[in-house]
Every structure is written in C-alpha cells, then in structure tokens.
Amino acid sequence: MSTVAYENLDKLKSFAELKRAARVELRSVLESDADRRVGAYSAPITTGMAFNYAAKAVDDTSLGLMHRLAEEAQLLEKYWALLNGEVMNTGEQRMVLHHLTRGKIGEGITANGRRLQQFYREQHERVFAFAERVHTGEIAGSTGKQFETVVQIGIGGSDLGPRAMFHALENIVVHNYGEQPLQARFISNVDPDDAAAVLAKLNPETTLFVLVSKSGTTQETLTNEAFVLDALEQSSIPGLQPRKHVVAVTSETSPLANSSEYLDAFYIDDYIGGRYSSTSPVGSVVLSLAFGPSIVQQFLDGAHAADQATFDSSIDHNAALLDALIGIYERNVLGCSATAVLPYSQALSRFPAHLQQLDMESNGKRVNRFGQPLNYHTGPLVFGEPGTNGQHSFYQLLHQGTDIIPMQFIGFRRSQLQQDLEFEGSSSQRKLNANLVAQIVAFAVGQDHEDANKAFPGARPSSLIHADRLTPQALGALLSHFENKVMFQGFVWNINSFDQEGVQLGKILTKRILSQEAGGGAAIEALRRLLAV
Amino acid sequence: MSTVAYENLDKLKSFAELKRAARVELRSVLESDADRRVGAYSAPITTGMAFNYAAKAVDDTSLGLMHRLAEEAQLLEKYWALLNGEVMNTGEQRMVLHHLTRGKIGEGITANGRRLQQFYREQHERVFAFAERVHTGEIAGSTGKQFETVVQIGIGGSDLGPRAMFHALENIVVHNYGEQPLQARFISNVDPDDAAAVLAKLNPETTLFVLVSKSGTTQETLTNEAFVLDALEQSSIPGLQPRKHVVAVTSETSPLANSSEYLDAFYIDDYIGGRYSSTSPVGSVVLSLAFGPSIVQQFLDGAHAADQATFDSSIDHNAALLDALIGIYERNVLGCSATAVLPYSQALSRFPAHLQQLDMESNGKRVNRFGQPLNYHTGPLVFGEPGTNGQHSFYQLLHQGTDIIPMQFIGFRRSQLQQDLEFEGSSSQRKLNANLVAQIVAFAVGQDHEDANKAFPGARPSSLIHADRLTPQALGALLSHFENKVMFQGFVWNINSFDQEGVQLGKILTKRILSQEAGGGAAIEALRRLLAV
C-alpha cells in the first residue's frame, strides 16, 4: 500500500484559497496579454501535440493555486499508485491497469502469479498474428472464402471507443496504405433494427464477427450474437458454420471463454474497465483486422507517449493534469455544469460520444471512494459535435445563452486525406481552422453592440488541443490524454472513477419485467402496458 | 396585428405561484398513484402517438398552475398569431411560416401579393414531379446514365434535420417498399476530409447533388459545391457536365436562384427558418429522391396532424404545450440546466442532433423579443443518444450524478424491420422496451441501499412519447411536436426563437482571418499561428 491520503475536495486548503482568488477577466486578458498567454499557457501531450489553455479563465495566480491543489491532493502520487497496482477501484476491489495495455509500463505487476503487462502484450501479439492470417487468407470463412468485412458486436465500452477509433482512422489509413484489408461495421443496440439493418448489407460467407463482452453476460451483446447466428443459419448457405465466423473478446472466466465452437478468443481481465479498453483487444481486434497490426501498434505507441508525458511533476508541462485542474476550477469554483468537446475534424465525429461515456460514467458519482455522500459537484455533462457543423447548430446557445458552457476544441494543421481546393482565396482546411480560431476569440472576447440582441457577452472559456495531423499516434495520444484527465479529476473529487453501480438498478428491473415476476411495482405494471411489454 | 401581450416570464403571477407551489415527491407518487397517473397524464400527439408525463415531477396542483400560465402568457393566442402571419421573428422582421409547408394551414397569408401556402405546395409538387422523372430515368446524368445516388450539400438546418429524417426512414422504406429508388449521402463540414471521403465512394456519372443554402452565401456549402464540381471536372469523364448533376434549393433572391447552369432549382423563402425547414424542399428534395414522393407526403401529413393537435385549448390534451410548460417548470423552478433526449429506436440515432439544433439555436438567447436582457434562464442544453446504448454510457451520471437532468424518452411498440428473434424467453424488441420501462422507474423511484454507492436517489423526472411504430407519419408528428414545444417555450420566455444572431461574430472574425485583414486583434494573431492559418 502507498502512503497517499484520500481527502474530500472541500477539506483541502488550496481549494479554499482557489475559491477566494480573484476571477480572471477573460474578455480583456486574452487580448491584452495574447502573445504571452498563447506562448506560455501550453503543455505538450506528445511530440507535435499540445494542450493550449490561453483562452481559459485562468492566470498565474489561479494556476499557482492549482499547482498547490495538485500537490495537496497528491495527484501524481495517486497516478503512480495506480500504475503500481494499488486497488484503485475500491468498490469492486480491483486494480486499474489499462495503461499496461499499451505494453510499456507496469512490468512488475502480477495477479495470481501472472505478470499482467506481459499477458496484455501476448494478447496483442495473438491478435496481430490472427489478423495477418486473416489478411493472407490463411484463416478464411467456413465455406473457404476470404473474409472481407469485420463486424464488432458490443455495447458501451465495447462499442463507443472502438467505433470512434475506427472512424477516426478509416480515411487516413485508406489514403496512406491503399484499400483497407477489411471493411468494418458495428452492432450495439438491442433494438432488432440495428442488427437487421447491418446484416442486410453483408455477405455471411465473407464476414467475421467480433463478439465483445468482458463478463460474457451482457444482455444486448448476447442477444445480438443469437440474432446474428440465427440469421447466418437462416441464410441456408451450404457448408456455412456460423460459429466459425465468430471470435470472442472476453475474460478468461467468462462463459464465452475457451468455447471451442468459436473461431478463436482473445482475453482481457477485470483490471481493464470497459470505457478504458480501446487499447486492449476490445479495440485491437477490430482495428487490426480493419487496418493491419502496424497501424494499431502506432496507436498504442501514441497512447503510451501521452501516458509518459503525464508523469511530469511540473504542472506547467503536464497537459492531462492541467486539463483536469482547469476543469475542476470550472466545475467547482465557476459553477459550470457541462463541457462541450468540439473537434474541428470530421474524422473525430464520434469521439465526443466516446468521451461522453468515458467522463460521465467515470465521474458521474455522488459518493466518495469510501461510499460517503459528497456535498460538492462531481463530473459534468459532456457533449459535442464536430466543428464547423456545430457552429450552425448549438453554438447560438454557447455564445448567447444564459449558462456558460466551457469548451475543449481540437484542431489539426493538415487534413487527413490531403485533398483540398483553393476557393475564394483559401483552402477548405484553412477555412476550417480560421473558423476554429475565430470561435475561440469570439467566445472569450465577445463584442459590445448597441443592439443587445447582437451583443456577445464573451468570457466563455475554451482550450485547444492542436497537432499537425490526425495520425494513428496522434489518436492514441488524444485518447490517453482524456483518460488521464478523467482519472485526475476523479482523484480530486475523491471518488472511484472505475466502477459504475449506477447501471445496476435498470438491469435488475429489466430482468424483473422480462421474467414477468410479480413485485415489479405499480409503476412498472402501469407503464409496461404503454409499450406492450 | 393581434392583441396579444408580450411580457417577461418573471412578470407573470401564475409563474410566481408555480414557484411557491409544493414540490412533488416523485419517488413516492409514481408508485402510490401509478394507475391514475399513467392513465391521466397523457396527451395525444396524433392518432396512435401520445405524450405521457406520469413520471414527471408534476401533480394536479402544479399542472393547474401551468394551465393558468399558458392562459396568462396567451400561448395559444401567440400560436394563432404566428399562423396568421404576425411578424414573430422580431429581430429580422419576418413572419414564421414553416407550418404552412405542410400544405394545409395558413391559406390566407400573402407576401408581395403571393399566397404563400400555395407557393410552398407548388414547390413540393415540382419536387415530387422532378423526383418521379429521375426515378423513371427521364431525367438522367449528363452522360445518359440513370441517377443512383443523391448527395445533399448543406450545413446546420440544411443538414441535421434532413439527415435525421433520412436515417429514420431508411430502413422502414426499404422493408415496406423494397429497394430505395436512390441511395443518399450528406456533405456538410468544410473540413475537406468530409467531402473527399464521400466522393471517394461515388460514381460521378450516376450521382445527383442537392445544393441547399437559403441565402446562397453559406461559406461551407459554397466551398463544398466548388470542391464537388472540381472533383467532377478532375474525373475527366467524357461528356460529363458537372453542373448538370446539381439542383439547388434556395430562396428566389439568392445568387444560386435561376442559374441556368444547374439542372433545376426549388425554392424556399425567408419565412422558413433553417432549423424548421425539414418539411420544405430543404428536406423534401433529398427525401423524395431517396424514398419517393408518397413517403414524403405521409411525412408532411404526420407533421400537419401534430400541428392540429397543438390547437387544443385544453392543456390536458395539448401535448406540445404540456411538454413546453413542464420543461419551463424544470428549467425555471427546479433549476435544471439540461435535457436528455433518449429514443429507444436505432432509426432515431441522429434525431437528438436535430433537436439539439432546433432547441439550442432557437432558445439559447439572453435578451427578450424587444432586445432587453433577461434575468432568468432560457433554453437548456439538449443532448442524447439512442437507448439502450446510452444505458452503457452516460446513464451512470443521470442516475447517480450530482445534477438532476430531466429526460424525454421515445419508444415504439413494434420495430421498423419486423425481423426479430426470441432469445432467452423474449424478443429483442421486448427487451428494448423492457429496458425503457425499467429506466423510467429506476430514474423516478430510485432505490435505497445500505451501501451508499449502490443507492439510487431517484426523483429524476422523465416523459415518454410512445407510438406503435416509427412510420413516415409518426416521424412527421414527432418532428412537429418538438418544433411546437420549442415555439411555446420561446413564447413563455418572451424571446425570439426564430433568429440566430449568436452565429454572426464567428463569421465576421473568420472572414477577417481569411482575408488577412489587419486589425483582427492580438488574440487572433497569436492563435492563428498554432493552426497555420
């Protein structure tokens, strides 16, 4: 056990001081001190990628107090404790080891006599070898045809992260490496229209399904597996063996493990939370099949590089730590209840949905890690859509609404596909980024106007993560940055960011309804009639 | 001019009384009074579709006060005034006539001597005739090949609504009518990767583009038009005439109108706001091409039916009005700053993104319709993802987070595709709806537990819109319901829900950056270097 202390946020002296500190006049300081702020208020995430917080409502005084808060709350010590295998998931009494799936840290950690980093690496190696054999055709469909499409069946962390990563890489991989080895699709919802619509466009003979459920008991995923297997049976293709078109990603103790009926199985364990599992086989199987192992290795390396940058004990250079602390300041001092994630990159169109799960499922908690109710706010609502699309949608409220919603912009100097056109004096990429810069300034500085309807109050804070281009490494670093930010915020709030007890009651009531058990209660009996269940 | 009075919400006596009224103990009343609430707290939207608010934190007393608020604020009178052509978009001095695009009300309204309802109907008739000629092959590509794909180029209201409607209808149309006449794609973002990725998968000879911009000056849309035309030129296909693959949807006064270089053009006008334009040619061109005119007519009829239900002067039977008032109660009395939209239907996966624009761009305002700053909250943050997916993502925070976020569920008794499987005693559709019912009860009633980490505080209010099946009519009714809800809320807040001045400053600054004008300010100069603009 480590010697770190776990205190509630409102017990910390530095937090009390941060609340008393003078508020920053963002409207004026961003203009009056622009060069210094944009230059100095920047921290590296990995080579060529940085977190810039010049347009956040902070100054040297408040940043100094955040530095003290980080020390008083022992945030880096807690990160080290986590990496050293301390039981950080206190509710479920588990270690939290997703960083080890990148394959480069936590070598000494063992469970049941097994070195876990080595175990995770071996699984990736098995995944890579499997993908290569599929790509060469050595492993083929049960009727002898080469696989052309991979379909991930999973929900929550087994869907949102891998799906966001797939969409982020799809175009750049095709551009740089030619055709994708396999096309990819996803089935997640228990709504039968989801699976039916995906299956309608597939050839069963050339499709490989990846069934992802750590516990092997997820209702939606097992239902969709049955749905898919039934559809394959119904196709009546001579010689087709449906289960030989399925690989499982699960834990070794799950009902799905070691089923000789599947084509193969790859393993994770209880130390990898679903929403933190994109760098485990939960993500690496579908991504290796779709893009090839070398792309996935670059993605893992990017995540590791950002993990390493997060060791930096100087807050000024620790992007994830800074991002976390500024978010705490906005949530618990400025009183903001939501955060918008706004990637100026079409490839990141589903990245906000992943962050929504990562952040809200991790930190949407009302008790501390010891199970005691808290009397301060924890995780904010997280939402977003890609810019410039959002500008023509909800930005109206962000600019002129009655609540202040802090923002996190993400931008890249170059596009992924490098196909562009000069039109009216500028390329599309330049227009995209000009819009991004204009929004940061419009939100922060605002504009006076004699017509109040055309006035912009400004003082809307935003940060900017920027890099040259959205490559597999950059994507891995971006993923890790937010994982580590969320982790640090959980430490500050003194909560357990790694369980999700809030999903249990719905599961119990659903089972009660489906089993027609009595005792569901009057509300269930009255409501079920409306939906014929 | 009508005789309605426009007062701020905090001047209304009924609002003061509503604030003083006793709060409802949702945890207990939903169970103790389940049958009566589920039966009585329901209002029809259209035949077979209803808005149920049994699990909202309201009772007969607060509903009675809301009824008085509706009368005191003259909400129905304002709806009539809008339908009668009063200048409701006060900032831009325009009428608000999207209801007329359904083709059945507002017959007498004229502008510049033209009867507008007739004009909108004529445009739909032109759209329908055009679509039919495309489907028969009478209108074909410039090299003589039949069109196979339609691509909508538009952003904001020219993208989100039509795209959400397309995804909602795609599967049910294929199931009921066989193959779609044309496949559909969408290009919106100025990010060149958006257009490049869509174009990479198209055959220029068989693709028809729909260029949608009311003003004809939208930067992103004109840029993407140029991008597409350039790509078609570059394809060097003998005989290909790129502009003969483009139809425009625009206003008659725009630079795009009457260009003989386009294949055709269809018209809207300034009385149809972008986010309210899905039932105008902004939506009907792409939907008629993709699905055929009869589907679009059913969609329009559904929207009209819900418009009509909104005339009901008894609040108890006026779903849009009730939904609006309950939202006001949650925002301005209970102090909730966000609303989640949670459709238990994969087909509605992009409907929350449309509602996000509709609501946040309409009501994210800080001045009243006379341009005076307000001292109460207006439009909430709106977000959502389909259930059951969201259950495995952000529902943790909804159940156990420190803020209460009211919810709007949407569910259907039957799936769209009617392909289903009994697995472990129930069909997928039944599992889907069992989850929905379970969530409503879990959120409202909660659960005590000796371990506070496993306790659910409950008292999380939600409504349920339910219908038999998501048909084109049902979709039209759903669209109209939310348009009318947002309209009524704008009336209550005494704001102009039909302009969007908050998008202007970003546009001005973007132009300044792109033109390399001096005087952009120090912040712009410092930030543009980060993104090489």
Residue A2 lies in a domain: no
Residue B305 lies in a domain: no
Q: What's the CA angle centered on B270, arms B269 and B276, to 5 degrees?
A: 90
- Would you state the pLDDT for residue A175? 80
Is pLDDT of B1 > 60?
no
- Would you state the pLDDT for residue B178? 79
Question: Which of B392, B422, B424, B450 is the catalytic position?
Answer: B392
pLDDT level of residue A516 (50, 70, 90 thresholds): confident
Q: How many CB atoms lie within 10 A of CB B411?
A: 25
Query: A263 or A259: whose pLDDT is higher?
Result: A263
Q: Are residues A62 and A28 in the same domain?
A: yes
Q: Are residues B114 and B41 in the same domain?
A: no
Cα A416 to chain centroid, rounded: 21
User: Domain range holding B411?
Assistant: 9-95+312-501
For residue B385, the chain A residue with the least C-alpha distance is A353
- Would you state the pLDDT for residue B3? 81
Is pLDDT of B26 > 80?
yes
- Would you state the pLDDT for residue A176? 82
Q: Are residues B199 and B121 in the same domain?
A: yes
For the segment B416-462, what is each residue's pLDDT rounded down to a tens digit? 999 999 999 999 999 999 999 999 999 999 999 999 999 999 999 99
Q: Are residues B90 and B104 in the same domain?
A: no
- In this structure, what token pair is assigned to residue A316? 């000024």
Is pLDDT of B2 > 80?
no
Calculated CA dihedral for residues A218, A224, A225, A227, nearest 10 degrees: 150
Residue B3 lies in a domain: no
For residue B453, the chain A residue with the least C-alpha distance is A371
Catalytic residue list contains B507: yes
Alpha carbon distance A275, B384 (integer Å): 18
- Would you state the pLDDT for residue B516? 78
Q: Which of residues 293-332 of A touch B (CB under 8 A)?
A: none
- Would you state the pLDDT for residue A260? 86
Q: Are residues B33 and B69 in the same domain?
A: yes
The SS3 of residue A371 is coil
Q: Considering the entire predicted model, what is its pTM?
A: 0.97
Distance to chain A for B105, nearest Cα, Å: 28
Q: Do B510 and A223 touch (CB under 8 A)?
A: no
When the pLDDT of each residue in chain A is averaged and rounded to a whole number, the result is 96
- Would you state the pLDDT for residue B519? 67
Q: Are residues B158 and B35 in the same domain?
A: no
For the segment B185-244, what is each residue's pLDDT rounded down to a tens digit? 999 999 999 999 999 999 999 999 999 999 999 999 999 999 999 999 999 999 999 999
Residue B306 lies in a domain: no
List, as one string, the DSSP characters of B130-158: HHHHHHHTSS--TTSPPP-EEEEE--GGG
The SS3 of residue A370 is coil
Question: Which of A392, A422, A424, A450 is the catalytic position?
Answer: A392
For the segment B125-137, what is each residue's pLDDT rounded down to a tens digit? 999 999 999 999 9
Q: Do A405 and B381 touch (CB under 8 A)?
A: yes
Q: Are residues B373 and B425 in the same domain?
A: yes
Catalytic residue list contains A361: yes
| Cβ neighbours for B93, distance < 8 A, ≥ 6 positions apart | B87
Residue B424 lies in a domain: yes
- Would you state the pLDDT for residue A2? 55
Q: Are residues A329 and A208 in the same domain?
A: no
Partners of B56 on chain A (C-beta within 8 Å) are none
| CATH for A244 | 3.40.50.10490
Asked which of B242, B269, B299 is the last residue of a domain, the reply is B299
- Would you state the pLDDT for residue A90? 93
Partners of A391 on chain B (C-beta within 8 Å) are 156, 503, 506
Looking from the CA of A154 toward its CB, the CA atoms found within 13 Å total: 35
Question: Which of B67, B361, B481, B483 is the catalytic position?
Answer: B361
Q: Are residues B191 and B275 in the same domain?
A: yes
Question: Taking residues B49-70, what's their average pLDDT?
Answer: 98
For residue A198, the chain B residue with the least C-alpha distance is B171
- Would you state the pLDDT for residue A259? 82
Helical ranges in B190-261 per DSSP H: 192-200, 219-234
Asked which of A266, A282, A300 is the last residue of a domain, the reply is A300
Is pLDDT of B260 > 90?
no
When the pLDDT of each residue in chain B is averaged and rounded to a whole number, the result is 96
Least confident piece of the model among A232-241, A269-278, A514-523, B507-516: A514-523
Residue A221 lies in a domain: yes
Least confident piece of the model among A333-347, A399-413, B406-420, B510-524: B510-524
- In this structure, what token pair is assigned to residue A495? 């909560």
Q: Are residues B271 and B213 in the same domain?
A: yes
Partners of B501 on chain A (C-beta within 8 Å) are 400, 453-454
Q: Are residues B69 and B164 in the same domain?
A: no
Residue A231 lies in a domain: yes
Q: Which of B297, B318, B291 is nearest to B66 (CA)?
A: B318
Q: Are residues A82 and A189 in the same domain?
A: no
Residue A375 lies in a domain: yes
Is pLDDT of A519 > 80?
no
Partners of B430 on chain A (C-beta within 8 Å) are 514, 533
Domain count, chain A: 3
For residue A172, the chain B residue with the least C-alpha distance is B193
Catalytic residue list contains B13: no
For the segment A148-181, what is each residue's pLDDT rounded down to a tens digit? 999 999 999 999 999 999 999 998 998 887 788 9
Partners of A521 on chain B (C-beta within 8 Å) are 31, 34, 441, 445
Residue labelled with tokens 């509602």? B355
